[in-house]
């Protein structure tokens, strides 16, 4: 039975699916959620073509927008959780030069989480290599169980075809 569930959220569809699953679990087990949003000051934005950097003249404005957006994501998630009758804490972390996965693992230890529920995009191949995978890094290093909630849009592994002899 899980009593303290950490839910990293970033506003993406995959993250929202993870939040929905965490809410269901929390209601079922009378658990408390910890909603975590991380603003990474170093990696400004990513897309399928790789990392895009913001020109220096726009950095302050862009970071302010990221902070504001992150706080809005947390507030929206907190309202959703409260509306469903689940207890939740919110944590906003800003980091520079640390992987988001390291922040998630640190928060799991600090908050004494007994489960992490994490939405994942399920990227594979070159896209995963270029963009990295925070979910994979958390899975490899987490001190607690983790539930990965895969986006329905995520690429599915191809079924292996049998060779004809």
Indicate whether 158 belongs to any domain: no
pLDDT surpasses 60 at 59: yes
Per-residue pLDDT, averaged over 44-67, amounts to 66
- Residue 9, classed as helix, strand or coil, is coil
For tokens 């087990």, the residue is 29
24: containing domain: 4-42+67-120+135-149
With cut-offs at 50, 70 and 90, classify the pLDDT of residue 92. Answer: very high
pTM above 0.85, yes or no: no
Total domains in the fold of the chain: 1
Mention every residue, 6+ apart, whose C-beta is less than 8 A from residue 58.
none
User: Tens digit of pLDDT for each residue in 100-142?
Assistant: 899 999 999 999 999 999 988 655 443 333 334 778 889 888 9
Q: What is the CATH number of the domain that holds 103?
A: 3.40.50.620
Q: What is the pLDDT of residue 77?
A: 97
Q: What separation in angstroms does the CA of 82 have from each of 3, 18, 77, 85, 86?
A: 17, 16, 9, 5, 6
Indicate whether 155 belongs to any domain: no
């Amino acid at each position: 039975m899980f009593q303290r569930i950490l839910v990293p959220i970033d506003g993406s569809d995959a993250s929202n699916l993870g939040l929905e699953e965490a809410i269901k679990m929390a209601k079922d087990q009378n658990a408390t959620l910890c909603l975590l949003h991380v603003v990474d000051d170093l990696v400004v934005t990513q897309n399928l073509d790789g990392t895009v950097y913001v020109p220096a003249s726009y950095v302050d404005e862009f970071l302010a927008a990221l902070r504001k957006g992150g706080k809005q994501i947390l507030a929206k998630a907190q309202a959703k959780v409260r509306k469903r009758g689940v207890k939740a804490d919110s944590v906003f972390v800003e980091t520079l030069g640390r992987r988001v996965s390291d922040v998630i693992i640190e928060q799991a230890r600090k908050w004494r989480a007994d489960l992490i529920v994490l939405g994942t995009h399920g990227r594979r191949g070159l896209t995963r290599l270029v963009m990295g995978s925070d979910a994979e890094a958390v899975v490899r290093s987490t001190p607690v169980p983790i539930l990965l909630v895969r986006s329905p849009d995520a690429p599915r592994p191809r079924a292996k075809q049998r060779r004809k002899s």
